[in-house]
Structure 1
Amino acid sequence: MNYTQFHHHLIQALQTHIVQQPPFTDDTLDELHETFLAKLEQVAQDPYAEEDGMLLGGWVITTIINRYPHITPSVPRDLLWFFGSDCMHFLGDEEVEQFQRLQDQLYEAGDPDTANYETLRNNALKLH
Protein backbone atom coordinates (compact mmCIF):
# COMPACT_ATOMS: atom_id res chain seq x y z
CA MET A 1 0.00 0.00 0.00
CA ASN A 2 1.54 3.33 -0.99
CA TYR A 3 1.46 6.58 1.00
CA THR A 4 -1.79 7.92 -0.45
CA GLN A 5 -3.58 4.57 -0.39
CA PHE A 6 -2.60 4.00 3.25
CA HIS A 7 -4.00 7.34 4.39
CA HIS A 8 -7.06 7.06 2.17
CA HIS A 9 -7.84 3.73 3.85
CA LEU A 10 -7.45 5.34 7.32
CA ILE A 11 -9.84 8.15 6.39
CA GLN A 12 -12.44 5.73 5.07
CA ALA A 13 -12.19 3.58 8.21
CA LEU A 14 -12.56 6.69 10.37
CA GLN A 15 -15.62 7.75 8.38
CA THR A 16 -17.20 4.32 8.89
CA HIS A 17 -16.60 4.65 12.63
CA ILE A 18 -17.86 8.23 12.88
CA VAL A 19 -21.24 7.62 11.24
CA GLN A 20 -21.90 4.97 13.91
CA GLN A 21 -21.34 7.45 16.76
CA PRO A 22 -23.63 10.01 18.32
CA PRO A 23 -24.76 12.57 17.26
CA PHE A 24 -24.58 11.06 13.77
CA THR A 25 -26.86 8.16 14.70
CA ASP A 26 -29.69 10.53 15.64
CA ASP A 27 -32.80 10.55 13.46
CA THR A 28 -32.34 14.22 12.66
CA LEU A 29 -29.11 16.17 12.45
CA ASP A 30 -28.67 19.88 12.79
CA GLU A 31 -26.95 21.81 10.01
CA LEU A 32 -23.60 21.83 11.82
CA HIS A 33 -23.43 18.03 11.90
CA GLU A 34 -24.71 17.71 8.32
CA THR A 35 -21.98 20.09 7.11
CA PHE A 36 -19.36 18.07 8.94
CA LEU A 37 -20.58 14.81 7.39
CA ALA A 38 -20.63 16.35 3.91
CA LYS A 39 -17.03 17.51 4.25
CA LEU A 40 -16.00 14.16 5.74
CA GLU A 41 -17.55 12.46 2.71
CA GLN A 42 -15.55 14.71 0.38
CA VAL A 43 -12.32 13.80 2.19
CA ALA A 44 -13.21 10.10 2.21
CA GLN A 45 -13.63 10.30 -1.56
CA ASP A 46 -10.50 12.41 -2.13
CA PRO A 47 -7.96 12.90 0.69
CA TYR A 48 -6.59 15.91 -1.19
CA ALA A 49 -9.97 17.67 -1.45
CA GLU A 50 -9.67 21.42 -0.94
CA GLU A 51 -11.87 24.32 -0.04
CA ASP A 52 -10.58 27.87 -0.31
CA GLY A 53 -7.08 26.54 -0.97
CA MET A 54 -6.94 24.54 2.26
CA LEU A 55 -7.10 20.78 2.63
CA LEU A 56 -10.51 19.80 3.95
CA GLY A 57 -8.97 16.88 5.79
CA GLY A 58 -7.26 19.22 8.24
CA TRP A 59 -10.58 20.94 8.88
CA VAL A 60 -12.29 17.57 9.41
CA ILE A 61 -9.65 16.36 11.89
CA THR A 62 -9.54 19.58 13.92
CA THR A 63 -13.34 19.65 13.94
CA ILE A 64 -13.42 16.14 15.39
CA ILE A 65 -10.98 17.17 18.11
CA ASN A 66 -12.82 20.39 18.93
CA ARG A 67 -16.47 19.31 18.60
CA TYR A 68 -16.55 15.56 19.07
CA PRO A 69 -14.14 14.67 21.89
CA HIS A 70 -15.68 11.20 22.25
CA ILE A 71 -14.48 10.43 18.69
CA THR A 72 -11.00 11.97 19.07
CA PRO A 73 -9.34 8.78 20.42
CA SER A 74 -10.39 7.04 17.19
CA VAL A 75 -8.44 9.45 14.99
CA PRO A 76 -5.25 7.72 13.81
CA ARG A 77 -2.18 9.77 14.69
CA ASP A 78 -1.01 9.21 11.10
CA LEU A 79 -3.81 11.47 9.88
CA LEU A 80 -2.60 14.34 12.06
CA TRP A 81 0.76 14.11 10.28
CA PHE A 82 -0.78 13.52 6.85
CA PHE A 83 -2.94 16.65 6.97
CA GLY A 84 -0.31 18.74 8.80
CA SER A 85 -1.06 22.42 9.42
CA ASP A 86 -3.18 22.87 12.57
CA CYS A 87 -3.32 19.09 13.07
CA MET A 88 0.39 19.12 13.93
CA HIS A 89 -0.38 20.93 17.19
CA PHE A 90 -1.96 17.73 18.48
CA LEU A 91 1.21 15.63 17.98
CA GLY A 92 3.88 15.36 20.65
CA ASP A 93 7.50 16.20 19.86
CA GLU A 94 8.48 12.53 19.87
CA GLU A 95 5.68 11.70 17.44
CA VAL A 96 6.75 14.52 15.12
CA GLU A 97 10.31 13.17 15.16
CA GLN A 98 9.07 9.63 14.39
CA PHE A 99 6.92 10.79 11.50
CA GLN A 100 9.73 12.98 10.17
CA ARG A 101 12.11 9.98 10.19
CA LEU A 102 9.45 7.95 8.43
CA GLN A 103 8.96 10.69 5.84
CA ASP A 104 12.72 10.82 5.23
CA GLN A 105 12.85 7.04 4.78
CA LEU A 106 9.91 7.19 2.39
CA TYR A 107 11.68 9.65 0.12
CA GLU A 108 14.96 7.75 0.38
CA ALA A 109 13.10 4.65 -0.82
CA GLY A 110 12.12 6.45 -4.02
CA ASP A 111 8.75 7.54 -5.31
CA PRO A 112 6.29 7.83 -2.36
CA ASP A 113 3.48 6.68 -4.63
CA THR A 114 5.21 3.39 -5.45
CA ALA A 115 7.04 2.63 -2.18
CA ASN A 116 5.37 0.22 0.24
CA TYR A 117 4.51 2.83 2.85
CA GLU A 118 2.89 0.41 5.26
CA THR A 119 6.06 -1.70 5.54
CA LEU A 120 8.27 1.37 5.92
CA ARG A 121 5.90 2.73 8.57
CA ASN A 122 5.82 -0.49 10.56
CA ASN A 123 9.63 -0.69 10.54
CA ALA A 124 10.18 2.99 11.35
CA LEU A 125 7.64 3.01 14.18
CA LYS A 126 8.79 -0.43 15.36
CA LEU A 127 5.35 -1.96 14.92
CA HIS A 128 6.42 -5.36 13.55
Structure 2
Amino acid sequence: MAISYLDHHLALLAHLRGILVALGEAEQVADESHALFMERFDELPAALADRPEDSHLGQELICQVFQRYPQIAHLVPRDLLWFFGGDCLHFMPDEEIALYQELDERRFEAEANDAPFDWNREKQLLALPEGSSRH
Protein backbone atom coordinates (compact mmCIF):
# COMPACT_ATOMS: atom_id res chain seq x y z
CA MET A 1 0.00 0.00 0.00
CA ALA A 2 1.31 3.41 -0.95
CA ILE A 3 1.61 6.00 1.78
CA SER A 4 1.13 9.70 1.20
CA TYR A 5 4.01 11.77 -0.10
CA LEU A 6 4.20 13.74 3.16
CA ASP A 7 3.96 10.62 5.34
CA HIS A 8 6.79 9.03 3.37
CA HIS A 9 9.04 11.98 4.14
CA LEU A 10 7.95 12.18 7.77
CA ALA A 11 8.99 8.52 8.12
CA LEU A 12 12.37 9.37 6.58
CA LEU A 13 12.78 12.23 9.05
CA ALA A 14 12.05 9.82 11.90
CA HIS A 15 14.70 7.47 10.50
CA LEU A 16 17.24 10.31 10.26
CA ARG A 17 16.34 11.36 13.81
CA GLY A 18 17.20 7.85 15.00
CA ILE A 19 20.60 8.12 13.35
CA LEU A 20 21.21 11.51 14.98
CA VAL A 21 20.18 10.19 18.40
CA ALA A 22 22.55 7.23 18.03
CA LEU A 23 25.32 9.63 17.08
CA GLY A 24 24.75 11.58 20.28
CA GLU A 25 24.56 8.42 22.38
CA ALA A 26 27.87 7.27 20.94
CA GLU A 27 29.32 10.55 22.24
CA GLN A 28 30.68 11.45 18.81
CA VAL A 29 29.43 15.03 19.00
CA ALA A 30 29.43 17.92 21.48
CA ASP A 31 26.52 17.10 23.76
CA GLU A 32 25.14 20.58 24.46
CA SER A 33 25.28 21.71 20.84
CA HIS A 34 23.80 18.40 19.69
CA ALA A 35 20.95 18.63 22.20
CA LEU A 36 20.03 22.11 20.93
CA PHE A 37 20.14 20.89 17.35
CA MET A 38 17.90 17.94 18.22
CA GLU A 39 15.37 20.28 19.82
CA ARG A 40 15.13 22.21 16.56
CA PHE A 41 15.07 19.00 14.53
CA ASP A 42 12.14 17.74 16.62
CA GLU A 43 10.14 20.84 15.64
CA LEU A 44 10.32 19.89 11.97
CA PRO A 45 7.71 17.09 11.73
CA ALA A 46 5.08 19.20 13.49
CA ALA A 47 5.90 22.20 11.32
CA LEU A 48 5.53 20.06 8.18
CA ALA A 49 2.25 18.58 9.38
CA ASP A 50 0.87 22.11 9.88
CA ARG A 51 2.37 23.63 6.71
CA PRO A 52 3.79 21.03 4.32
CA GLU A 53 4.49 23.69 1.70
CA ASP A 54 6.86 25.57 4.03
CA SER A 55 10.21 23.87 3.55
CA HIS A 56 12.58 26.54 4.87
CA LEU A 57 13.14 24.94 8.28
CA GLY A 58 13.70 21.57 6.62
CA GLN A 59 16.21 23.01 4.15
CA GLU A 60 18.10 24.67 6.96
CA LEU A 61 18.20 21.60 9.20
CA ILE A 62 19.11 19.09 6.48
CA CYS A 63 21.94 21.35 5.30
CA GLN A 64 23.11 21.63 8.91
CA VAL A 65 23.19 17.84 9.17
CA PHE A 66 25.71 17.81 6.31
CA GLN A 67 27.75 20.61 7.88
CA ARG A 68 27.63 19.49 11.51
CA TYR A 69 27.74 15.72 11.01
CA PRO A 70 29.70 14.96 7.82
CA GLN A 71 30.38 11.45 9.15
CA ILE A 72 26.72 10.54 8.56
CA ALA A 73 26.13 12.47 5.34
CA HIS A 74 25.95 9.21 3.39
CA LEU A 75 23.11 8.05 5.67
CA VAL A 76 20.83 11.02 4.97
CA PRO A 77 17.93 9.74 2.84
CA ARG A 78 18.27 11.26 -0.62
CA ASP A 79 14.50 11.70 -0.83
CA LEU A 80 14.75 14.33 1.91
CA LEU A 81 17.19 16.40 -0.14
CA TRP A 82 14.72 16.50 -3.02
CA PHE A 83 11.70 17.02 -0.77
CA PHE A 84 13.16 20.11 0.87
CA GLY A 85 14.90 21.37 -2.27
CA GLY A 86 16.67 24.72 -2.24
CA ASP A 87 20.16 24.53 -0.79
CA CYS A 88 19.71 20.79 -0.17
CA LEU A 89 20.02 20.25 -3.91
CA HIS A 90 23.69 21.25 -3.72
CA PHE A 91 24.32 17.84 -2.16
CA MET A 92 22.86 16.01 -5.19
CA PRO A 93 24.58 15.37 -8.53
CA ASP A 94 22.77 16.46 -11.72
CA GLU A 95 21.90 12.87 -12.67
CA GLU A 96 20.15 12.33 -9.37
CA ILE A 97 18.24 15.59 -9.71
CA ALA A 98 17.07 14.45 -13.16
CA LEU A 99 15.81 11.18 -11.65
CA TYR A 100 13.84 13.02 -8.98
CA GLN A 101 12.41 15.43 -11.56
CA GLU A 102 11.11 12.44 -13.51
CA LEU A 103 9.67 10.97 -10.31
CA ASP A 104 7.84 14.21 -9.56
CA GLU A 105 6.47 14.34 -13.11
CA ARG A 106 5.10 10.81 -12.69
CA ARG A 107 3.65 11.72 -9.29
CA PHE A 108 1.94 14.84 -10.61
CA GLU A 109 0.55 12.90 -13.58
CA ALA A 110 -0.84 10.21 -11.27
CA GLU A 111 -2.42 12.85 -9.00
CA ALA A 112 -3.96 14.63 -11.99
CA ASN A 113 -5.54 11.33 -13.07
CA ASP A 114 -6.59 10.37 -9.52
CA ALA A 115 -4.36 7.32 -9.89
CA PRO A 116 -2.42 5.74 -7.02
CA PHE A 117 1.28 6.50 -6.91
CA ASP A 118 3.87 4.46 -5.05
CA TRP A 119 6.95 6.67 -4.65
CA ASN A 120 9.32 3.83 -3.75
CA ARG A 121 8.12 1.54 -6.54
CA GLU A 122 8.43 4.28 -9.16
CA LYS A 123 11.88 5.19 -7.88
CA GLN A 124 12.98 1.58 -8.25
CA LEU A 125 11.58 1.45 -11.79
CA LEU A 126 13.45 4.61 -12.77
CA ALA A 127 16.68 3.25 -11.31
CA LEU A 128 16.60 0.20 -13.59
CA PRO A 129 19.38 0.16 -16.21
CA GLU A 130 18.56 1.36 -19.72
CA GLY A 131 16.94 -1.33 -21.82
CA SER A 132 15.17 -2.93 -18.84
CA SER A 133 11.40 -2.99 -18.83
CA ARG A 134 10.17 -0.02 -16.84
CA HIS A 135 6.44 -0.81 -17.04
- Please indicate the TM-score interval, normalised by the length of the shorter structure: 0.7 to 0.9
Q: Distance in 2 between matches of 1:38 and 1:18?
A: 12
What's the TM-score, normalizing by structure 2? 0.76
Q: Which residue of 2 aligns with 1:34?
A: 35
8 A contact 2:55–2:84 mirrored in 1: no
Amino acid at match of 2:119: Y
Which of the two has greater helix per residue? 2
What is the Cα deviation at residue 48 of structure 1?
A: 5.7
Question: Which aligned segments of 4 or more residues in structure 1 are displaced greater than 6 angstroms?
Answer: none
Q: Which residue of 2 aligns with 1:121?
A: 123
- Number of residue-to-residue matches in the alignment: 121
Q: Which residue of 2 aligns with 1:107?
A: 108
8 A contact 1:61–1:80 mirrored in 2: yes
Q: Which residue of 2 aligns with 1:81?
A: 82
What is the Cα deviation at residue 96 of structure 1?
A: 0.6
The SS at the match of 1:66 is helix
- The change in CA–CA distance for 1:49 and 1:75 in structure 2 (over 3 A counts) is farther
Amino acid at match of 2:120: E
Q: How does 1:19-98 map onto structure 2 within 5 Å?
A: 19-21=21-23, 24-25=24-25, 26=27, 29-30=31-32, 32-47=33-48, 55-98=56-99
The SS at the match of 1:104 is helix
In the alignment, structure 1 segments of 5+ residues that lack a partner are none
The SS at the match of 1:19 is helix
Amino acid at match of 1:5: D
Amino acid at match of 1:14: L
How well do the aligned residues superpose, as a CA RMSD in angstroms?
2.6
In the alignment, which of 14, 17, 29 is matched to residue 15 of structure 1?
17
What's the TM-score, normalizing by structure 1? 0.80
In the alignment, structure 2 segments of 5+ residues that lack a partner are none
- Which of these two proteins has the greater Rg computed from alpha carbons? 2
Q: Distance in 2 between matches of 1:79 and 1:121?
A: 14
- Asked if 1:6 is matched to 2:8, the reply is yes
